[in-house]
Amino acid sequence: MSEVENKVVPVESEEKDYVEDGKNKLIVKCKFCGSKILDKKSAKYITLEKELPLMQQDNNRKEGEIQNESVNEFYHVENMYTFENIGFTHTVANCKYLSCADCDAGPVGYYDMETKHSYVAISRIVHA
């Protein structure tokens, strides 16, 4: 469990002031309402490349079109009950999106149906 896995990049993570011992040093909160998503030191910092739908989709976009952006810093949560407060959407293409349990803002990350692991996008939350 405590072994650092292949894809984690400890060297790089040392430079982030919100990462300590490869984990989130601070409490993870919703950007919009401050709802507590993760307790401090409860999730592993990882880098991986993932396309996530934008939190604010352009109202003038074509019907059915989804605007994505590439996100590459995440907190990795192995057990969903580690979350303090979080929402899971219905499943889309073997994945569920994560949203704030209090104001429903999101996606703040995604949940992989196969591995049952969750990934919180660091650019979409705030630390406290």
Partner 1 sequence: MAKKTYDLLFKLLLIGDSGVGKTCILFRFSDNHFTTTFISTIGIDFKIKTVELRGKKIKLQIWDTAGQERFHTITTSYYRGAMGIMLVYDITNEKTFDDIVKWLRNIDEHANEDVEKMILGNKCDMEEKRVVSKERGEAIAREHGIRFMETSAKANINIDRAFSELAEAILDKTSGREADADHARIAVERRPSRAPPARACCS
Binding region for partner 1 (CB under 8 A): 1, 32-33, 36, 39, 42, 53-57, 59, 66, 78-92, 96-97, 99, 101-107
Q: 3-state DSSP call for residue 13?
A: helix
CB of 97 to partner 1, least distance (A): 7
Out of partner 1, Zn ion, none, what residue 56 binds, judged by CB under 5 to 8 A for its kind, is partner 1
User: Which of Zn ion, partner 1, none does residue 89 bind (CB under 5 to 8 Å by kind)?
Assistant: partner 1
30 scored as a contact of Zn ion (CB under 5 A):
yes
93/52 Cα distance (integer angstroms)? 13
> Considering the complex, what minimum distance in angstroms separates the CB of residue 19 from partner 1?
18
47 binds, among partner 1, Zn ion, none (CB under 5 to 8 A by kind): none
* Residue 126 to residue 52: CA distance in whole angstroms: 17
Minimal distance, residue 39 CB to Zn ion, in Å: 16
> Which of the listed partners (partner 1, Zn ion, none) does 99 bind, with a CB threshold of 5 to 8 Å by partner kind?
partner 1
Instruction: Please report the DSSP string for 56-75 in residue order.
Output: S--TTSPTT---EEEEEEEE
Q: Which of 124, 118, 128, 99 is nearest to 31 (CA)?
A: 124
Cβ contact 36:71 at 8 Å: no
For tokens 């989130």, what's the residue? 24
Residues near Zn ion, by CB under 5 A: 30, 32-33, 35, 100, 102-103, 105
